[in-house]
């Protein structure tokens, strides 16, 4: 088998640079979906159901992209065509989704429009995101994979930071942050427009700078024989043959991604009630937060700020992870710190004190972005790299689907009759899930 060459820092950077733009789109979605649907009139107990669509589309799309790209080759490469098509669709939908309340539709019609737009947005983001992980698996040797995924983690968090703060910054410079009932504020709408423009520029950059190996050269670098190349297989056979790291890391992923699904769903309401004292009103016989109020919209912007702080914490912690001699110890410490961050939010009533909580949460996020893929790709051969990474995405999507499906029921258990939903309790539960995930790291066996 021909050894993969060492790549310069800038070649590693170029492999992942488009991820910066994709992550801006993902951050805008993550920080604003609950805000958008709450503004359209959704009940807090129903919010988690709107979040089922993103991971559901991911679990469908990413394995398809993995399998298809393993068998693709054209003048533009094998992974990049999927990246480019996904980005183009995402850009179109980013211009439509935040306008769900601006077309004069009824509340129910606006929500259906928003759901369809969200489905296409997450499908396209997943289609654009997966090729970056595959490119690293394809073209980077084991010695440099840790560095390559760290660069990807840095760009991911940098993109998140930019996407999260857009509404806050636009409101600060004078873009309207409130709107009539059922209409999304201009600060959010223009954030999506700017994010779409940055996304296409970043994807064009990576598409121009990265030259993928042709099939023959790829086979040489990955030790793929003619028999393996022509082997007829399916995803079920590959799952049976999957290395133990696939399943053990997947178990840790389950608890981690369920925790972050609760964060994306319930941080908005938690901060609005606990920190910004948002007024409570009765709507259709239910006690809910007043989403038209200045306090609610200010709290929603602050969610972007604390998510940006989380991204900063993740970048800083990502630089500390390589100093751990034991990768599993780094994983455990990261998840425990994140769990402490989640639980601490329950006791915080000052917006600036939240920074400490989300810096700690960023430690868990840094580990989740880099360590699972480093451990897994080191345990894989190159023949079905894209397929395995697509299947591994199930360990990200399934826990989010489970958390979204159960979130409303769990929140109802915490909600006394005639009271507003205590969404912050769901963040405490997220912290407990990270502690369980940290314990599960102990069963992972890495390839030496």
pLDDT of residue 221: 73
> What's the whole-number average pLDDT of the chain?
86
Is-contact 311 160, C-beta < 8 A?
yes
Neighbour-count burial for 296-310, b at 16+ CB within 10 Å, e otherwise: bbbbbbbbbbbbbbb
pLDDT category of residue 225 using cuts at 50, 70 and 90: low
pLDDT of residue 232: 56
pLDDT category of residue 329 using cuts at 50, 70 and 90: very high
pLDDT category of residue 233 using cuts at 50, 70 and 90: low
d(CA 125, CA 423): 28
Which CATH number is correct for 16-210+238-443, 2.40.50.140, 1.20.1250.20, 3.40.50.720, 1.10.10.10? 1.20.1250.20
User: What are the tokens at 354?
Assistant: 């939240």
Read off the pLDDT of residues 287-323 as tens digits, 9 standing for 90 and up. Answer: 888 888 889 989 989 999 999 999 899 889 988 888 8
Whether the model clears a pTM of 0.85, i.e. scores above it, the answer is no
- Angle at the Cα of 27 (from 32 to 87), degrees rounded to 5? 110
pLDDT of residue 116: 87
Read off the pLDDT of residues 333-365 as tens digits, 9 standing for 90 and up. Answer: 999 999 999 999 999 999 999 999 999 999 999
**For residues 382-393, average pLDDT:** 70
Read off the pLDDT of residues 69-84 as tens digits, 9 standing for 90 and up. Answer: 877 787 788 888 888 8
pLDDT category of residue 413 using cuts at 50, 70 and 90: very high
pLDDT of residue 259: 97
- Angle at the Cα of 342 (from 432 to 360), degrees rounded to 5? 120
């Amino acid at each position: 088998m021909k050894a993969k060459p060492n790549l310069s820092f800038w070649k590693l950077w170029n492999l992942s640079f488009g991820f910066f733009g994709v992550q801006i789109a993902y951050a805008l979605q993550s920080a604003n979906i609950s805000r958008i649907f709450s503004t359209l009139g959704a009940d807090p107990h129903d919010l988690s159901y709107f979040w089922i669509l993103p991971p559901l589309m991911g679990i469908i799309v990413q394995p398809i992209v993995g399998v298809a790209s393993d068998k693709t080759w054209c003048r533009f490469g094998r992974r990049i065509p999927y990246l480019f098509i996904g980005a183009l669709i995402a850009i179109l939908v980013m211009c439509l989704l935040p306008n769900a309340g601006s077309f004069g539709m009824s509340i129910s019609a606006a929500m259906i429009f928003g759901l369809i737009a969200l489905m296409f947005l997450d499908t396209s983001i997943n289609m654009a995101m997966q090729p970056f992980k595959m490119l690293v698996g394809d073209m980077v040797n084991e010695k440099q994979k840790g560095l390559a995924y760290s660069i990807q983690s840095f760009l991911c968090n940098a993109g998140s930071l930019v996407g999260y703060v857009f509404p806050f910054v636009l409101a600060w410079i004078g873009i309207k942050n409130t709107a009539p009932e059922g209409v999304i504020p201009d600060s959010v709408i223009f954030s999506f427009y700017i994010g779409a423009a940055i996304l296409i520029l970043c994807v064009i950059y990576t598409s121009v700078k990265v030259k993928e190996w042709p099939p023959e050269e790829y086979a040489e670098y990955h030790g793929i024989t003619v028999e393996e190349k022509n082997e007829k297989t399916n995803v079920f056979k590959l799952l049976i043959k999957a290395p133990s790291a696939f399943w053990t890391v997947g178990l840790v992923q389950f608890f981690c991604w369920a925790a972050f699904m609760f964060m994306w769903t319930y941080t908005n309401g938690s901060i609005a009630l606990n920190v910004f004292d948002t007024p409570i009103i009765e709507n259709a016989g239910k006690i809910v937060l007043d989403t038209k109020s200045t306090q609610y919209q200010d709290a929603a912007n602050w969610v972007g700020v604390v998510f940006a702080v989380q991204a900063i914490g993740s970048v800083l912690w990502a630089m500390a992870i390589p100093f751990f001699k034991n990768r599993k110890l780094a994983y455990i410490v990261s998840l425990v710190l994140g769990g402490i961050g989640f639980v601490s939010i329950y006791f915080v009533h000052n917006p600036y004190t939240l920074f400490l909580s989300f810096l700690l949460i960023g430690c868990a996020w840094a580990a989740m972005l880099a360590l699972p893929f480093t451990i897994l790709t080191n345990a894989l051969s190159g023949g079905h790299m894209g397929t395995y990474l697509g299947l591994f995405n199930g360990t990200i999507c399934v826990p989010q689907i489970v958390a979204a499906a159960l979130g409303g029921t769990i929140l109802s258990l915490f909600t006394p009759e005639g009271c507003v939903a205590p969404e912050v309790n769901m963040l405490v539960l997220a912290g407990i899930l990270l502690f369980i995930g940290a314990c599960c790291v102990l069963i992972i066996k890495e390839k030496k």
